């Protein structure tokens, strides 16, 4: 097993299912695929693909978390608590997150439902891999087994092929007072995130999950969404 923790992010157009339910039934779920089998990804100086079975052992034995955009302070679910479900299907690594009724959970559901966030990502270490070359002579890494640490809905995807969708199960604010209160909470959270991202970019803080350029794009998105 390599010591380096890596991340990979996937994207695709998604069909959003949105359903209103009673408040007692919880906030809702995010479902999709954090990885797709046998799809060649590009952009790390080499090509890469994941074989079926790569997640089979780790999803049985490891306590994986669901995070928002790889941020360890923004937890959406956990395998051991039953709020994160992981399984391999014919397509890849299927994910289902029972979202918490927190500001992070509500924002995650809203951003996915609106189509603003369409990617999923995963943090992992390599357990078994194979290197070779394709027909064009390009270097290819074939991932045969990984140790999975986390899965994340993600704003800036790298790969194509996966999907993520949100199903709402909470009542949206309807009165003017409720809408104003909800917007105020969301604005305060986005302003906080904008400030933190600005500090990290300015300090040059290293981050294995996101590059400084990606942080800059996130900051710009947060500026647009918060209106501050």
The predicted-structure confidence for 179-199, as pLDDT tens digits, reads as follows 666 666 666 665 665 566 555
Q: What pLDDT score does 12 carry? A: 44
Cβ of 131: how many Cβ atoms within 10 Å? 9
Q: Is the pLDDT of residue 93 over 60?
A: yes
Q: What pLDDT score does 188 carry? A: 67
Q: What pLDDT score does 13 carry? A: 31
Beta carbons of 157 and 113 less than 8 angstroms apart: no
d(C-alpha 52, C-alpha 55), whole Å: 8
Q: What pLDDT score does 187 carry? A: 64
Residue that wins the pLDDT comparison between 222 and 195:
195
Beta carbons of 156 and 214 less than 8 angstroms apart: yes
Residue that wins the pLDDT comparison between 144 and 24:
144
Which range of 132-146, 168-182, 200-214 scores highest in mean pLDDT? It is 132-146
Identify the weakest region by mean pLDDT among 28-42, 162-176, 201-215: 201-215
Q: Taking the CA of residue 80 as centre, how many other CA atoms within 13 Å lie in the half-sphere pointing to its CB?
A: 7
Q: Is the pLDDT of residue 67 over 90?
A: yes
Q: How confident is the model at residue 20 (pLDDT cuts 50, 70, 90)?
A: very low
Residue that wins the pLDDT comparison between 133 and 208:
133
Q: What pLDDT score does 44 carry? A: 65
Q: What pLDDT score does 148 carry? A: 96
Average pLDDT over residues 97-106: 93
Beta carbons of 157 and 33 less than 8 angstroms apart: no
Q: Is the pLDDT of residue 175 over 60?
A: yes
Residue that wins the pLDDT comparison between 119 and 56:
56
Residue that wins the pLDDT comparison between 33 and 58:
58
Beta carbons of 9 and 97 less than 8 angstroms apart: no
Distance of CA 41 to the CA centre of its chain: 17
pLDDT, tens digit, 9 for 90 and up, residues 104-163:
999 999 999 888 988 888 999 999 999 999 888 889 999 999 999 999 998 775 555 545
Between the CA of residue 2 and those of 145, 147, 161, 178, 212, what are the distances in Å? 11, 10, 26, 50, 24
């Amino acid at each position: 097993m390599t010591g380096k923790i890596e991340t990979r992010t996937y994207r695709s157009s998604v069909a959003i299912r949105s359903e209103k339910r009673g408040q007692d039934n919880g906030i809702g779920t995010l479902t999709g695929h954090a990885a797709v089998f046998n799809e060649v990804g590009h952009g790390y100086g080499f090509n890469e693909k994941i074989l079926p079975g790569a997640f089979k052992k780790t999803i049985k034995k490891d306590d994986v978390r669901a995070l928002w955009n790889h941020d360890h302070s923004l937890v959406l679910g956990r395998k051991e608590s039953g709020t994160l479900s992981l399984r391999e299907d014919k397509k890849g690594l299927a994910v289902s997150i029972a979202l918490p009724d927190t500001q992070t959970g509500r924002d995650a559901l809203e951003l996915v439902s609106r189509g603003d966030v369409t990617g999923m990502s995963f943090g992992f270490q390599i357990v078994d891999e194979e290197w070779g070359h394709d027909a064009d002579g390009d270097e290819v890494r074939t991932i045969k087994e990984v140790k999975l640490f986390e899965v994340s809905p993600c704003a800036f995807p790298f790969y194509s092929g996966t999907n993520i969708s949100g199903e709402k199960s909470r009542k949206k604010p309807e009165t003017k007072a409720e809408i104003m209160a909800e917007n105020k909470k969301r604005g305060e959270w986005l302003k906080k995130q904008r400030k933190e991202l600005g500090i990290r970019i300015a300090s040059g803080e290293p981050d294995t999950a996101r590059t400084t350029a990606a942080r800059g794009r996130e900051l710009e998105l947060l500026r647009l969404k918060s209106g501050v």
